[in-house]
Copies of this chain bind each other. A is one copy, B any other.
């Protein structure tokens, strides 16, 4: 059974190399997570257990793929940043997207019981992914600012919405009460009616999660007597910090270095 007569079909695989010299962002996004979070009784507006699980999966992606420099996540989405000069898998879009999605998903299922020990997984968590190229550092920063501003806007809205719903309003009434309102109004509402000071909510909810590598002592191996040998390693570390202003970037110049 010779295979050579069929091998021509390989030529139908078209090249999908991403433009060299650009930042590559791979954004992954939960499929149908509104329903998925209802099914598993996620707390509203934010379930810390589910967010921690997302953050841990992002760390695992960065452990696995060293060309990922930075990640940013909120809710059921995560963005992974590859450096301008990366040649990971020849910059082929489908390779990069599929492997990051696969790594993230595998960890999501495997680490679920650690984060939600009393909640059996009752549906298949799935994430889609896409690759986007950004030519300039300014574009990359604006991309991350876009996601973080989105986190803030959604979180403020959802905090109000669920406060209203938990106080007895129907979802439609809560929606109507918030339609067209501004930031100041929503902060007022939270404070006056529910005694919630928005500024005091957890940073993870307000800012989302930034993952960067930080030097840390980790157990590299064990000696024969069982005591650990510690080594300094660059370890993916979750921060809840502002990405929009310059401070973070001034403090971490290596992230934008060539």
Residues of A participating in the B interface, judged by any CB pair closer than 8 Å:
1-3, 5-17, 19-22, 28, 31, 60, 64, 84, 89, 93-95, 97-99, 101-103, 105-110, 121, 124-136, 139, 142-143, 145-146, 149-150, 152-153, 183, 244
Contact = CB atoms under 8 A, between A and B. Distances in A.
A11 to B, nearest CB: 5
Contact of A15 (B15, B94, B102): B15
A117 to B, nearest CB: 16
14 contacts: A1-B149, A1-B152, A1-B183, A2-B149, A9-B139, A9-B143, A9-B146, A12-B21, A94-B131, A98-B127, A99-B127, A102-B126, A105-B105, A106-B108
A157 to B, nearest CB: 12
Nearest to A14: B17
A239 to B, nearest CB: 19
Nearest to A130: B94
A105 B3 CA distance: 29
Given A21-B12, A21-B135, A132-B13, A106 B94 contact: no
Contact of A135 (B8, B19, B143): B19
Nearest to A131: B94
